[in-house]
């Protein structure tokens, strides 16, 4: 059928094949440029159209997210990502830690975070004045890059043979990320033991 004005008829669209097409990765013909077979197979697996596996923290019907539980748990660093064993006592510790967090801005007159005399009193109760005085501390302050600078400095000192302790804040997943002794996170058992020691003395 011809349209008015003498225009030529449109060609019919090509029929689509019922079988899906697959795209093959180009492999150079030259043996000097050819990718090794194991690496090529791995690359093909990475580029396959299979859906990625679910994230370990993703909600599932067996483990739905509870909004009222998320905020204090995240603030206390209890988003586990498989790093900790998640014992019942550790969960209790994280709950106690979350109970200490107050939603106040720094300018609030009720904010006691900048009362250094209160911190000195806590150190007296814990009998930590002398041990802390014996430490050689590098305190990094500023706006950006404090955590990176501390991490670099700790790594350099440890590689030179020094015994190191590193504290950075905030953490990303687990609250124990804040404390590193000789480059290693503090264990869950040690964190629980020293937390209750401190909590019971200061409560």
* 118-130 confidence digits (pLDDT tens): 889 999 999 999 9
Range of the domain at 179: 116-202
Inside any domain, residue 26: no
pLDDT under 70 in the chain at which residues? 1-36, 38-86, 103-114
pLDDT at 49: 45
Query: CB neighbours (10 Å) of residue 85?
Result: 10
Q: Is the pTM of this model over 0.85?
A: no
pLDDT at 190: 93
Inside any domain, residue 190: yes
Inside any domain, residue 91: no
User: Whole-angstrom Cα distance, residue 95 to residue 198?
Assistant: 15
Query: In 125-143, which positions are buried (b, 16+ CB within 10 angstroms) versus exposed (e)?
Result: eeeeeeeeeeeeeeeeeee
Inside any domain, residue 37: no
Inside any domain, residue 107: no
pLDDT at 104: 64
- Structural domains counted in the chain: 1
pLDDT at 201: 94
Inside any domain, residue 185: yes
Inside any domain, residue 32: no
Residue 79 near residue 174, CB atoms below 8 Å: yes
């Amino acid at each position: 059928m011809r349209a008015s004005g003498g225009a030529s008829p449109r060609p019919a669209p090509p029929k689509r094949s019922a079988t899906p097409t697959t795209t093959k990765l180009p492999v150079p013909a030259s043996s000097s440029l050819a990718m090794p077979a194991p690496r090529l197979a791995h690359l093909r697996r990475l580029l396959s159209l299979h859906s990625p596996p679910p994230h370990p923290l993703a909600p599932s019907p067996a483990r739905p997210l509870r909004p009222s539980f998320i905020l204090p748990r995240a603030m206390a660093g209890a988003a586990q990502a498989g790093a900790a064993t998640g014992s019942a006592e550790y969960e209790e510790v994280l709950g106690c830690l979350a109970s200490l967090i107050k939603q106040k801005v720094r300018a609030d007159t009720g904010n006691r975070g900048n009362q250094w005399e209160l911190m000195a009193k806590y150190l007296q109760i814990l009998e930590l004045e002398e041990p802390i005085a014996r430490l050689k501390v590098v305190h990094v302050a500023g706006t950006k890059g404090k955590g990176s600078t501390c991490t670099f400095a700790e790594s350099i000192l440890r590689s030179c043979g020094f015994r190191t302790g590193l504290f950075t804040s905030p953490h990303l997943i687990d609250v124990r990320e804040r404390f590193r002794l000789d480059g290693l996170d503090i264990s869950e058992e040690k964190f629980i033991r020293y937390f209750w020691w401190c909590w019971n003395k200061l409560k």
